[in-house]
Homo-oligomer: A and B are copies of this chain.
């Protein structure tokens, strides 16, 4: 047991950010570079990241995530990474057809985990949001035309976010072990 296990135990969805503390471009770019390395089906890399770390645009993006009374905490969060699915390359499209799977969302999940860990490694907190006004995001940002917005990641410094106990299913509910 060493650092990754500590990082996985420590990383939690943060809903309390310090509005006065903005991540640097270097920190956010380091997150993207970690996501760039993520594995994907047929190395398709079906993702695009729009980083928003701006005193004017960030609050507008934040507002576009506040639907149905959700994500109120974004009022204080200074930065976002908008994650769009991109068309898969030919080999991955063939694989999708043959296996009747759609790999891109899983690839995006993997890349998003890379983003979260890279942020945590740098002392940044994150919250993955799946609920947002995509049309409004498209008005605000030069997003890729093709490919749906899949997730928006809030990124910032925690204001008050003590480590909570992670409420998870029991190990024997999620795992069957066969063998030695």
Instruction: Give the B-binding residues of A (Cβ under 8 A).
Output: 1-5, 7-9, 12-13, 22, 25, 28-30, 32-39, 41, 43, 45, 47-55, 57-58, 68, 79, 95, 98-99, 101-103, 105-114, 116-118, 120-121, 128, 130-131, 141-142, 150-151, 166-169, 171, 174-180
Q: CA A171 – CA B25 in complex, angstroms?
A: 14
Sample of 8 further A-B pairs with CB below 8 A, known A8-B117, A48-B175: A3-B3, A4-B120, A35-B174, A101-B130, A102-B105, A105-B105, A113-B114, A117-B117
A51 B175 Cβ-Cβ under 8 A: yes
Across-interface contacts of A111 in B (CB, < 8 A): 109
B5 A171 Cβ-Cβ under 8 A: no
Q: Identify the interface centre among A47, A105, A114: most chain B CB within 10 Å of its CB.
A: A105
> Which one of B98, B171, B176 contacts A131 once the chains associate, using CB atoms below 8 Å?
B98
A-B pairs with beta carbons under 8 Å apart, 8 shown:
A38-B113, A45-B169, A50-B175, A52-B178, A101-B130, A101-B150, A109-B109, A141-B178
Across-interface contacts of A79 in B (CB, < 8 A): 179
Q: CA A73 – CA B11 in complex, angstroms?
A: 34
B168 A45 Cβ-Cβ under 8 A: yes
A178 B57 Cβ-Cβ under 8 A: yes
Q: CA A43 – CA B35 in complex, angstroms?
A: 23
Q: Determine the residue in chain B with the shortest Cβ distance to A54.
A: B179
A106 B151 Cβ-Cβ under 8 A: yes
Q: CA A107 – CA B108 in complex, angstroms?
A: 9
B32 A171 Cβ-Cβ under 8 A: yes
A174 B36 Cβ-Cβ under 8 A: yes
Say yes or no: A167-B43 contact (C-beta < 8 A), given A48-B174, A177-B28.
yes
Q: CA A43 – CA B103 in complex, angstroms?
A: 22
